[in-house]
Amino acid sequence: MTAFHWANALHDHWGISAELTKLDGEYDLNFRAASVDGQGYILKAMRPGCASDLVDMQIAALAHIRQTNPNLPFPRVVPAAKGGFCLTLPDETGAQRLVWLQTLLPGQCYAKSAPKSPDLIRQIGKTLAGTTRALENFEHPSLERGFKWDLMAASWIASEVSCIVDIKRQALISEICANFEALKPQLASLPKQAIHNDANDYNILVTGSLCEPRAISGLIDLGDMCVAPRICDLAIAAAYVVLDHPKPQSALSALVAGYHSTNLLTTEELDLLWPLLCMRLAVSVVNSTLVAKDNSDDPYVTISQAPAWRFLEQPNEHPSLISARLRAACDLPVVDGAGSILSYLETHNGGFAPLMGRHLTDLPMGSLSVENSTWPQNPFDMPLAEAAEVGSEFAGEDGSDWWLGYYNEPRLIYTANAFRKGHHKASDRRTVHLAVDVFAPAAQSLHAPLDGEVVVVEDRANHLDYGGVIILKHHTDTGEDFYTLYGHLDPECCTRLAIGDKVEKGAPFCQLGSPDQNGGWAPHVHFQLSLSTKGIESDWPGVADPDDLVLWNALCPNPAPLLNLPNAKVRYKPTEKSTILDGRRNHFGRNLSLTYSDPVMLMRGWKHHLFDEWARPYLDAYNNVPHVGHAHPRIQAVAADQLKRMNSNTRYLHPAQTSFAEKILSKMPDHLDVCFFVNSGTEANELALRLARAHTGAKGMVSPDHGYHGNTTGVIDISAYKFNAKGGVGPSDWVELVEAADDYRGSYRRSDPDRAQKFADLVDPAITKLRDKGHGIAGFIAETFPSVGGQIIPPKGYLPAVYEKIRAAGGICIADEVQTGLGRLGEYYFGFEHQGATPDIVVLGKPIGNGHPLGVLVTTRAIADSFAQGPEFFSTFGGSTLSCRIGTEVLTIVDDEGLQENARIRGSELMIGLQELQSRHQPIGDVRGMGLFIGVELIRTDDSEATEVCAYVKNRMRDHRILIGSEGPMDNILKIRPPLTIDAEGIEVILKTLDSILSEVQIS
- The pLDDT tens digits for 642-683 are 999 999 888 888 999 999 999 999 999 999 999 999 999 999
**Distance, C-alpha 744 to centroid of its chain:** 38
Query: Which pLDDT score, from 0 to 100, does residue 874 have?
Result: 85
Residue 835's nearest CA partner among 857, 847, 846, 820 is 820
Query: Using an 8 Å Cβ cutoff, are 62 and 218 in contact?
Result: no
Residue 179 Ramachandran class (φ > 0 left, ψ -120 to 50 alpha, else beta): alpha
Query: Which pLDDT score, from 0 to 100, does residue 304 have?
Result: 61
Q: Checking DSSP bridges between strand 365-366 and strand 403-405, what pairing results, if any?
A: parallel
Q: Confidence class of residue 590 from pLDDT cuts 50, 70 and 90?
A: confident
What single-letter amino acid sits at 101?
Answer: L
Residues 6 or more apart from 715 whose CB is under 8 A from it?
700, 701, 702, 703, 708, 709, 723, 724, 729
Query: Which pLDDT score, from 0 to 100, does residue 738 have?
Result: 32
Q: Confidence class of residue 1004 from pLDDT cuts 50, 70 and 90?
A: very low
Q: How far apart are the C-alpha atoms of 968 and 970, rounded to whole Å?
A: 5
pLDDT digits (tens, 9 = 90+) for 787-821: 554 444 567 788 999 999 999 999 999 999 999 99
Residue 714 has pLDDT above 70, yes or no: no
What value does the mean pLDDT take over residues 559-576?
96
Residue 564's nearest CA partner among 673, 438, 422, 680 is 438
Query: Which pLDDT score, from 0 to 100, does residue 362 have?
Result: 93
Residue 739 has pLDDT above 80, yes or no: no
Query: Which pLDDT score, from 0 to 100, does residue 711 have?
Result: 38
Q: How far apart are the C-alpha atoms of 250 and 237, rounded to whole Å?
A: 15
Q: What does the DSSP 8-state code read for residue 402? A: -
Cα angle value 53/58/60 (rounded, 5°): 90
Query: Which pLDDT score, from 0 to 100, does residue 69 have?
Result: 97
Q: Confidence class of residue 146 from pLDDT cuts 50, 70 and 90?
A: confident
**Residue 914 CB coordination number (10 Å):** 25
Q: What percent of the chain has pLDDT over 70?
A: 92
Residue 816 Ramachandran class (φ > 0 left, ψ -120 to 50 alpha, else beta): beta
pLDDT digits (tens, 9 = 90+) for 412-462: 999 988 899 988 999 999 999 999 999 999 999 999 999 999 999 999 998
Verdict on whether the full-model pTM lies above 0.95: no
Please give the radius of gyration of the chain, using alpha carbons only, rounded to the nearest integer: 35
Q: What does the DSSP 8-state code read for residue 105? A: P
Q: How far apart are the C-alpha atoms of 710 and 339, rounded to whole Å?
A: 64
Q: What percent of the chain has pLDDT over 90?
A: 81
What value does the mean pLDDT take over residues 9-35?
90
In 852-991, the DSSP E strands lie at 855-859, 924-930, 933-938, 962-963, 965-967, 973-976
Query: Which pLDDT score, from 0 to 100, does residue 198 have?
Result: 95
Q: Checking DSSP bridges between strand 779-783 and strand 701-703, what pairing results, if any?
A: parallel
Q: Checking DSSP bridges between strand 779-783 and strand 452-460, what pairing results, if any?
A: unpaired
Q: How far apart are the C-alpha atoms of 945 and 947, rounded to whole Å?
A: 6
Residue 731 has pLDDT above 50, yes or no: no
Residue 539 has pLDDT above 90, yes or no: no
Question: DSSP letters of 161-218?
Answer: GGG---HHHHHHHHHHHHHHHHHHHHHHTS--EEE-----TTSEEEE--TTSPPEEEE
Residue 36 has pLDDT above 80, yes or no: yes
CA distances from 173 to 130, 149, 154, 168, 869 (A): 32, 16, 12, 9, 89
**Residue 165 CB coordination number (10 Å):** 8
Question: DSSP letters of 736-747?
Answer: HHHHHHHTTTTG
Q: Confidence class of residue 903 from pLDDT cuts 50, 70 and 90?
A: very high
Residue 780's nearest CA partner among 668, 694, 671, 689 is 689
Q: What does the DSSP 8-state code read for residue 704? A: S
Query: What dihedral do alpha carbons 246, 250, 253, 257 form, nearest 10°?
Result: -110
Query: Using an 8 Å Cβ cutoff, are 273 and 139 in contact?
Result: no
Q: How far apart are the C-alpha atoms of 736 and 776, rounded to whole Å?
A: 19
Q: Confidence class of residue 716 from pLDDT cuts 50, 70 and 90?
A: low
Q: How far apart are the C-alpha atoms of 606 and 626, rounded to whole Å?
A: 10
Query: Which pLDDT score, from 0 to 100, does residue 238 have?
Result: 98
Host H or E run for residue 956: helix 947-959
The phi and psi torsions of 483 (rounded to 5 degrees) equal: -140, 150
Arithmetic mean of pLDDT over the chain = 91
Query: Which pLDDT score, from 0 to 100, does residue 24 have?
Result: 79
Query: Using an 8 Å Cβ cutoff, are 883 and 675 in contact?
Result: no
pLDDT digits (tens, 9 = 90+) for 449-502: 999 999 999 999 988 899 999 999 999 999 999 999 999 999 999 999 999 999
Residue 980 has pLDDT above 50, yes or no: yes
CA distances from 419 to 1, 433, 527 (A): 60, 12, 19
Query: Which pLDDT score, from 0 to 100, does residue 600 have?
Result: 93
Q: What does the DSSP 8-state code read for residue 728? A: G
Residue 845 has pLDDT above 80, yes or no: yes
Q: How far apart are the C-alpha atoms of 412 and 367, rounded to whole Å?
A: 12
Cα angle value 72/77/81 (rounded, 5°): 155
Beta bridge partners of 850: 852
Query: Which pLDDT score, from 0 to 100, does residue 1 have?
Result: 55
The phi and psi torsions of 200 (rounded to 5 degrees) equal: -85, 175
Q: How far apart are the C-alpha atoms of 1001 and 947, rounded to whole Å?
A: 13
Query: Which pLDDT score, from 0 to 100, does residue 113 have?
Result: 92
Query: Using an 8 Å Cβ cutoff, are 824 and 932 in contact?
Result: yes
pLDDT digits (tens, 9 = 90+) for 330-360: 999 999 999 999 999 999 999 999 999 999 9
Query: Using an 8 Å Cβ cutoff, are 11 and 28 in contact?
Result: no
CA distances from 754 to 271, 740, 793, 796 (A): 73, 15, 14, 11
pLDDT digits (tens, 9 = 90+) for 233-292: 999 999 999 999 999 999 999 999 999 999 999 999 999 999 999 999 999 999 999 988
**Residue 291 CB coordination number (10 Å):** 15
pLDDT digits (tens, 9 = 90+) for 86-138: 999 999 999 999 999 999 999 999 999 999 999 999 999 999 999 999 999 99
Query: Using an 8 Å Cβ cutoff, are 510 and 448 in contact?
Result: no
Q: What does the DSSP 8-state code read for residue 76? A: -
In 625-714, the DSSP E strands lie at 674-678, 701-703
Helix H, strand E, coil C: the string for 288-329 is HHHHHCCCCCCHHHHCCHHHHHHHHHCCCCCHHHHHHHHHHH
More confident residue, 26 or 218: 218
What value does the mean pLDDT take over residues 874-902?
95
What value does the mean pLDDT take over residues 369-376?
96
Query: Which pLDDT score, from 0 to 100, does residue 398 have?
Result: 56
Query: Using an 8 Å Cβ cutoff, are 110 and 220 in contact?
Result: no
Q: How far apart are the C-alpha atoms of 780 and 82, rounded to whole Å?
A: 79
